[in-house]
């Protein structure tokens, strides 16, 4: 696992049924592109998060294929529909096989 990987998610704690809400996610990750060289001129191998998904109560919101052109500390902002009370599940997939997860519960008034 890459060092100091920490997901952050901003989602509303409550919504009305059928409401569209904006979600922001940020994860600390170097996103080593595979294009850089170290001090000795050797290529630094690629090591990135290559996929990000957001689900709500098991249904897909967004599924992003990520390439080395995504900046360090990957950031996404997108909209989700909240049909009923439940939970978001966010998953980031690292090249090295690590999986980072975060979740956020949403109540419906």
Partner 1 sequence: MDFTRRDTLALGLGAAAMTVLPFRVNAAATDDLIAEFTGGAEMGAGGLTLTAPEIAENGNTVPISVDAEGATAIMVLATGNPTPPVATFNFGELAGSQSASTRIRLAGTQELIAIARMSDGSFQRDSKTVKVTIGGCGG
Partner 2 sequence: MNKTTASRLALTLVLSFGAGAALADENADLVVNEEIEMTVRAPAPAYLDGHLPEILSGWLFRSDETQDLQRDDFDNPGMIFVDQALDQWAMVDGSEGKSCASCHDDPADSMAGVRAVYPKWNADAGEVRTLAMQINDCRETQMGAKKWGYTSGDMTAMEALISVQSRGMPVNVAIDGPVAATWEQGKEMYYTRYGQLELSCANCHEDNYGNHIRADHLSQGQINGFPVYRLKNTKLNAAHDRFKGCVRDTRAETFDPGSPEFVALELYVASRGNGLSVEAPSVRN
Q: Contacting partner 2 (CB under 8 A), which of 4, 16, 42, 65?
A: 4
Q: Contacting partner 2 (CB under 8 A), which of 1, 8, 34, 87?
A: 8
Q: Contacting partner 2 (CB under 8 A), which of 14, 59, 72, 103?
A: 72
Q: Which residues bind partner 1 (CB under 8 A)?
A: 20-22, 33, 35, 55-56, 59-72, 74-81, 83
Maximal CA-CA distance, the chain = 59
Q: Contacting partner 2 (CB under 8 A), which of 6, 57, 78, 105?
A: 6
Q: Say if residues 20 and 80 touch (Cβ distance below 8 Å).
A: yes
Tokens of residue 84, six digits: 């009923």
Q: How far, in Å, CA of 20 to CA of 44, rounded? A: 42
Name the residue among 19, 10, 8 with its Cα closest to residue 107.
19
Please tell me what DSSP assigns to residue 3.
Answer: T
Q: Which residues here bind partner 2, judged by CB under 8 A?
A: 4, 6, 8, 10, 24, 26, 28, 71-73, 75
């Amino acid at each position: 696992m890459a060092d100091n990987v920490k997901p952050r998610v901003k989602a509303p704690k409550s919504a009305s049924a059928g409401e569209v809400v904006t979600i922001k996610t940020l994860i600390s990750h170097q996103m080593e592109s595979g294009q850089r060289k170290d001090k000795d001129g050797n290529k630094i191998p690629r090591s990135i998060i290559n996929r990000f998904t957001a689900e709500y109560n098991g249904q897909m919101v967004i599924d992003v294929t990520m390439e080395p052109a995504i900046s360090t500390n990957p950031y996404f902002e997108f909209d989700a529909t909240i049909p009923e009370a439940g939970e978001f599940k966010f998953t980031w997939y690292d090249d090295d096989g690590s999986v980072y997860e975060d979740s956020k519960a949403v109540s419906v008034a």
